[in-house]
């Protein structure tokens, strides 16, 4: 094996050509992303049900580690909405409530996710993530976005509500809505409306007043920070906590100590499955955004090295006491648009967050959770996108069914069952389609050597020869279907003397299908009907040659369909019964 | 829908043409099968852990019902080894030990299996059984045979031993072997050896003495009956029960009353999954033997009607207080070889068993369980067949892996996990193969219009045109693999001006793959490389036309690969950039 040091440390590739101009661009992007990340880190820790500092810790070391091991130049790694939601769901499912246990559980999930991703990377199993098809992932993200958004309304209203799925959330919100806290709502609802408005109405307004484009572009990014500063000040100044406003509360000042907590009881086994879910969903989301951004600058993402990059980032998060991390969509786009050239921007962002953890925690302790909840709701509203339903409906009903079921099941049963169902449904629908493959009877297009479907083209056929093109590999789920189809057509055509199986679309004949072909051949021998094959692929032929099928075959193997028809018509073959030749 | 009464009652088909000669043949077969079934019914009830009469009851009404609703003329339905083993495993897993509860559980499994099969039949879901590929079923039956055989040795040795899998069985046998009962062994071991010898050595001996062929053919079938009579007499005469020989014990005389037991507690939900396993395995085994026997006489098995036939037989078994039933391999072959012409033979067998239940129960109560165990061991030794390992090894490694893992997992983890693993492994291996499809570069075979793999044939190619033939449908698990392959080949060939994707083997392009094709197309537009398709199948083209892919395509769709090459070579196409035509 040829291992290059640059493949292990992809940062060496961009460090070699690093220039001063890159540094300026990276620094500007880092400052913007840092400002954006401070409230987001706290918010996603809240979403994960963990103390706010775990979100900050997850935004320091993991970014540095990803800058070393990751292959995307502009991906911004840190706590993200869906991974945080899944973290909360997993810990609640395990019935953990005590705060220390909860923190340890969140860290454990980060650690196990990281180990799993690194393992996948070493085994080069990145392709497994492909089983999460893109429509399923889109549907899953949309449904998760709705669940996350709904789950945050309790903070805007100042009520108790909980649940893994939409039904539970709506039910508990409805039950408790009467006890909504006025102070919280008076603050939360305007903040929420302002944040939404800053993305649309405000921009239109500024355009109307011909404000400089720089300000117009910057404002939506700065709006959450303005809101954080404003609401912190309000909460502090008017002691709103006394009127029932929930605030973040004391955040330990300074940097995390680097150590894994001691996982005393042996229940870490229970965390493996949730950790796998979190890491796979995070990985798929991350690689997808990484590829999209990479394509714009012709930078390639190595899907196996990404496993290592994200895996080590999660292990780093666990060592510094943080929650699971992955590449975030929103923040990677901001990073990219702010001009980040290399992962050094991520490295500098990490320094920015570290500085914040050392200096701003006093101020941030007055931050109302309603403000964070509003930030989350606005952020996840970008994830909700039903256009995939329309796109799949137009293109293919089976893709549509997969997406629709994924959305519905995720909304009704929560994220873990939702994503599992999405994969299972996609695989089932694919297999279902292959159980009853398209079998076309073909004939010759006059004047050519092309043989096409008799129902789609005007073709020449012969009553004594039936040519069937099977548009699917022959394997165990569909082997007996082929038998039924052939036997039925034989029963319908008495004058039949030859059957040709045209095989350009048969990519595999497994042993179940081989046994069926043997039984068909046996049957055709008794009926004195020839059984021929044309256009058999090389790899399929290699397999057939390993069995004794060809020795007993009541017909020939032809290189092309045209040769098959010519051969049968002009050789009085029906009386010949030769051994097949290759 | 066109429903014929003959399709609902397949018996009408053979009743119409029934002749006296059929009656004689059926009667002879019925007598032989009855004699064989009496000890077998008791033995499989023992294997299921149920009282012996449940085996007899399962051999009366179900045979009559199958004769009415089943489509196989010679299949012999009744208690069978593997269904009985699975029944015992399911009830033990549910922790039921009390005898009344155990009986009710066995009956419940028969009832639920029956309901499930009938439901599958009405929904025409027989094709789902195809997911149990033939090699997996072979492996599963072999492993089950070993487990069954091992589980019976405790009766031969007169010891306690238990377990769902080989490890547990061997361990408990080893632990208790010291307490083996001498009387039991003195009877059990000779019986076992005699039964094995009656199938081989005895026949050679009789041939040596030129005994009449009729006797030679009859003796192996009569041997178990002789052993039953002999050991019953010995046990009765010498009161061997007093020396520790286990006997069947009192069997209620007469026919069962027709009623379902009251399933008082609501735990029937727990029985659904085991019932599904039992019925599917039973169904697959049964249809497989039914097809094999049917093919010899050109009689067709209707796989959906078989679900109804076996389902109603199981419901009948439950109503008459019996254990789950299905078509048995050994006894169906005996029925066929004894000359059975129609299911009336099964009907008459049922009458024979009913007579036995009314008259012979007194004698049979002295039957040593060691005799039954020996009968079971000899019967299942026929199921154990490792030749499928050799066959699959030669033909295809992935089939071999599926069989080997099915055997090993079944042996180590028991039947339920074994059969589930078999299906899962088969599906996984198939999907795995499709994730990295065979992609061949093709060129023209000189003087023909055929385009074949450049590595297998001497072909003509052009430096500016790359034609790739993808030998697999494009769908979510392999979509990004195609992208990687194309990008890599572009990087290797600077002179490239056109890529042709030759699609005869592409039976589906799902939306994930479509998105990948769109991204490849986008990339090729930037590089000014044409992107063409040839030999796209009709159904695939129908889908593509529903998207806007063809409008943005940087190339053309050609009916044949030859037209693609000619078109590109002779039309200065690279400067044309027309809209694709169809």
So what's the pLDDT on residue B270? 83
So what's the pLDDT on residue B574? 44
- B8 lies in a domain? no
- A420 lies in a domain? no
> Chains A and B: how many Cβ contacts under 8 Å?
157
A435, A539, A547 ranked by CB distance to B127: nearest: A435
- Interchain CB distance below 8 Å, B133 and A559: no
A402: its two tokens: 């997969």
Does B158 have pLDDT greater than 80? yes
- Interchain CB distance below 8 Å, A560 and B399: no
pLDDT band with cut points at 50, 70 and 90 for residue A212: confident
Q: What is the pLDDT of residues B220-245, one digit of tens each?
A: 777 888 899 999 999 999 888 888 88
- A285 lies in a domain? yes
> Mean of the pLDDT values across residues B336-351?
89
Does B266 have pLDDT greater than 70? no
- What mean pLDDT, rounded, does chain B reach? 86
Q: Give the integer Cα–Cα distance in Å for B392 and B385.
A: 13
Whether A449 and A377 share a structural domain: no
Q: Specify the higher pLDDT residue, B433 or A534.
A: A534
B471, B481, B510 ranked by CB distance to A507: nearest: B471
B300, B456, B546 ranked by CB distance to A538: nearest: B456
- Interchain CB distance below 8 Å, A438 and B472: no
- Interchain CB distance below 8 Å, A511 and B130: no
Contact between A449 and A485 (Cβ < 8 Å): no
The answer to whether residue B428 neighbours chain A at the CB level (below 8 Å) is: no
- A345 lies in a domain? yes
Distances in whole angstroms, Cα of residue B424 to Cα of each of B281, B418, B430: 15, 10, 10
Whether B413 and B305 share a structural domain: yes
Contact between A474 and A482 (Cβ < 8 Å): yes
Highest mean pLDDT: which range of A448-457, B142-151, B330-339: B142-151
Nearest CA in chain B to A527: B298
So what's the pLDDT on residue A3? 64
Q: What is the pLDDT of residues B549-575, one digit of tens each?
A: 999 999 999 988 999 999 998 875 444
> Mean of the pLDDT values across residues A431-438?
82
Whether B414 and B556 share a structural domain: no
So what's the pLDDT on residue B25? 87
Question: Residues of B with CB below 8 A from A127's CB?
Answer: 435-436, 477, 480-481
> Mean of the pLDDT values across residues B317-342?
89
- How far is B327 from chain A, CA to nearest CA, in Å? 20
- How far is A472 from chain B, CA to nearest CA, in Å? 6
So what's the pLDDT on residue A107? 92
Does A314 have pLDDT greater than 90? yes
B472, B481, B547 ranked by CB distance to A127: nearest: B481
The answer to whether residue A296 neighbours chain B at the CB level (below 8 Å) is: no
Q: Give the integer Cα–Cα distance in Å for B277 and B257.
A: 28
**CATH assignment of the domain containing A482:** 3.30.750.24
Distances in whole angstroms, Cα of residue B318 to Cα of each of A46, B38, B113, B382: 56, 19, 10, 28
So what's the pLDDT on residue B508? 87
pLDDT band with cut points at 50, 70 and 90 for residue A581: very low
Whether A214 and A297 share a structural domain: yes
pLDDT band with cut points at 50, 70 and 90 for residue A368: very high
Whether B249 and B104 share a structural domain: yes
The answer to whether residue A299 neighbours chain B at the CB level (below 8 Å) is: no
Task: Please give the tally of structural domains in chain B.
Answer: 2
For residue A194, give the nearest of A217, A220, A216 by alpha carbon: A220
So what's the pLDDT on residue A476? 84
- How far is B91 from chain A, CA to nearest CA, in Å? 28
Highest mean pLDDT: which range of A414-418, B43-47, B98-102: B43-47
pLDDT band with cut points at 50, 70 and 90 for residue A324: very high
Does A466 have pLDDT greater than 90? yes
Largest CA distance in chain A: 103
- Interchain CB distance below 8 Å, A505 and B505: yes
Distances in whole angstroms, Cα of residue A203 to Cα of each of A137, A195, A211, A332: 31, 12, 9, 22
The answer to whether residue A475 neighbours chain B at the CB level (below 8 Å) is: yes
> Mean of the pLDDT values across residues B365-391?
89
- Interchain CB distance below 8 Å, B543 and A504: no
Q: Specify the higher pLDDT residue, B544 or A574.
A: B544
The answer to whether residue A391 neighbours chain B at the CB level (below 8 Å) is: yes
So what's the pLDDT on residue A20? 82
A303, A426, A511 ranked by CB distance to B135: nearest: A511
Question: Residues of B with CB below 8 A from A521's CB?
Answer: none
Q: Specify the higher pLDDT residue, A498 or B207.
A: A498
So what's the pLDDT on residue B347? 92
* Residues pairing with A530 in the sheet: A498
Region at A499 (left for phi over 0; alpha for psi -120 to 50; beta for the rest)? beta
- B581 lies in a domain? no
Q: Which of B394, B427, B460 is where one domain is finished?
A: B427
So what's the pLDDT on residue B265? 60
Distance of CA B483 to the CA centre of its chain: 39
Does A573 have pLDDT greater than 60? no
Instruction: Quote the percentage of chain A above a pLDDT of 90.
Output: 31
So what's the pLDDT on residue B3? 64
For residue B376, give the nearest of B387, B365, B368, B385 by alpha carbon: B368
- A414 lies in a domain? no
Question: Residues of B with CB below 8 A from A300's CB?
Answer: 487
> Mean of the pLDDT values across residues B336-361?
90
Which class for A230: exposed (0-12), middle (13-18), buried (19 or more C-beta within 10 A)? middle
> Mean of the pLDDT values across residues B485-507?
87
Q: Give the integer Cα–Cα distance in Å for B482 and B500.
A: 13
Residues 114-143 of A with CB under 8 A from B: 127, 130-136
So what's the pLDDT on residue B284? 86
Whether A451 and A355 share a structural domain: no
Whether A345 and A259 share a structural domain: yes
So what's the pLDDT on residue A424? 86
- What mean pLDDT, rounded, does chain A reach? 86
Does A571 have pLDDT greater than 80? no
Q: Please state whether the predicted TM-score (pTM) of the whole model is above 0.80.
A: no
- B15 lies in a domain? no
Whether A366 and A292 share a structural domain: yes
The answer to whether residue A539 neighbours chain B at the CB level (below 8 Å) is: yes
Q: What is the pLDDT of residues B29-87, one digit of tens each?
A: 898 889 888 888 999 998 998 999 999 999 999 999 999 999 888 899 999 988 999 99
> Mean of the pLDDT values across residues A363-374?
90
Whether A346 and A480 share a structural domain: no
- A405 lies in a domain? no
Domain that holds residue B511: 439-575
Nearest CA in chain B to A449: B449
Whether B175 and B311 share a structural domain: yes
Contact between B54 and B19 (Cβ < 8 Å): no
Whether B444 and B377 share a structural domain: no
User: Which DSSP symbol is given to B460?
Assistant: B
Residues 275-294 of A with CB under 8 A from B: none
> Mean of the pLDDT values across residues A204-227?
81
Nearest CA in chain B to A133: B476
So what's the pLDDT on residue B66? 94
Which class for B481: exposed (0-12), middle (13-18), buried (19 or more C-beta within 10 A)? buried
Nearest CA in chain B to A503: B505
Above 0.85 for ipTM, yes or no?
Answer: no
A51-60, A260-269, B94-103: segment of lowest average pLDDT: A260-269
Q: Which of B427, B456, B488 is where one domain is finished?
A: B427
Whether B414 and B517 share a structural domain: no
Does A175 have pLDDT greater than 80? yes
The answer to whether residue B190 neighbours chain A at the CB level (below 8 Å) is: no
Q: Which of B372, B394, B427 is where one domain is finished?
A: B427
Question: Residues of A with CB below 8 A from B449's CB?
Answer: 449
């Amino acid at each position: 094996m040829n291992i290059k040091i640059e493949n292990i440390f992809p940062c060496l590739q961009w460090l070699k050509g690093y220039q001063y101009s890159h540094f300026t661009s990276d620094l500007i992007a880092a400052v913007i992303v840092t400002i954006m990340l401070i409230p987001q880190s706290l918010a996603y820790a809240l979403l994960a049900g963990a103390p706010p500092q775990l979100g900050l810790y997850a935004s320091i070391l993991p970014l540095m580690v990803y800058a070393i091991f990751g292959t995307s130049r502009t991906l911004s790694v840190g706590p993200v909405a869906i991974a945080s939601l899944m973290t909360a769901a997993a810990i609640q499912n395990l019935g953990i409530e005590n705060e220390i246990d909860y923190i340890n559980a969140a860290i454990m999930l980060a650690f196990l996710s990281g180990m799993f991703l690194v393992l996948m990377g070493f085994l080069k199993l990145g392709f497994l993530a492909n089983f999460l098809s893109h429509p399923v992932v889109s549907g899953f993200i949309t449904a998760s976005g709705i669940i996350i958004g709904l789950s945050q309304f309790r903070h805007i209203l100042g009520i108790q509500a909980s649940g893994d799925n939409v039904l539970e959330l709506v039910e508990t919100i409805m039950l408790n809505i009467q006890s909504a806290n006025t102070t919280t709502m008076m603050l939360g609802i305007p903040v929420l409306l302002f944040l939404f408005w800053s993305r649309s109405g405000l921009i239109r307004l500024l355009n109307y007043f011909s404000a400089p484009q720089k300000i117009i572009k910057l404002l939506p990014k700065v709006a959450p920070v303005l809101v954080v500063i404003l609401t912190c000040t309000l909460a502090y100044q008017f002691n709103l906590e006394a009127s029932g406003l929930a605030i973040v509360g004391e955040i330990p000042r300074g940097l995390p100590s680097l150590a894994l907590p001691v996982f005393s009881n042996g229940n870490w086994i229970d965390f493996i499955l949730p950790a796998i879910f979190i890491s796979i969903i995070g990985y798929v989301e991350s690689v997808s955004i990484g590829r999209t951004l990479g394509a714009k600058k012709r930078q390639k993402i190595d899907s196996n090295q990404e496993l290592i990059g994200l895996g080590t980032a999660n292990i780093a998060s666990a060592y510094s006491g943080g929650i699971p991390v992955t590449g975030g969509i929103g923040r990677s786009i901001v990073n990219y648009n702010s001009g980040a050239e290399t992962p050094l921007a991520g490295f500098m962002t990490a320094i920015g967050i570290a500085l914040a953890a050392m200096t701003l925690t006093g101020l941030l302790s007055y931050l109302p959770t309603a403000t964070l909840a509003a930030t989350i709701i606005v952020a996840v509203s970008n994830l909700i996108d039903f256009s995939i339903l329309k796109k799949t409906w137009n293109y293919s009903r089976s893709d549509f069914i997969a997406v629709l079921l994924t959305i519905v099941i995720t909304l009704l049963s929560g994220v873990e069952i939702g994503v599992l169902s999405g994969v299972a449904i996609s695989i089932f629908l694919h297999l279902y389609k292959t159980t009853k493959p398209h079998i076309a009877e073909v004939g010759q297009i006059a004047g050519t050597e092309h043989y096409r479907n008799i129902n789609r083209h005007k073709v020449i056929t012969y009553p004594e020869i039936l040519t069937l093109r099977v548009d699917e590999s022959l394997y165990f789920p569909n082997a007996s279907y082929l038998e039924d189809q052939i036997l039925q057509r034989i029963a319908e055509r008495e004058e039949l003397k030859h059957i040709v199986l045209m095989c350009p679309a048969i990519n595999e004949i497994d042993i179940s299908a081989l046994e069926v072909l043997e039984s068909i051949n046996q049957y055709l021998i008794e009926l004195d009907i020839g059984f021929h094959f044309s256009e058999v692929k090389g790899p399929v032929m290699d397999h057939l040659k390993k069995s004794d099928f060809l020795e007993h075959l009541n017909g020939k193997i032809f290189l092309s369909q045209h040769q098959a028809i010519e051969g049968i018509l002009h050789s009085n073959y029906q009386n010949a019964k030769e051994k097949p030749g290759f």
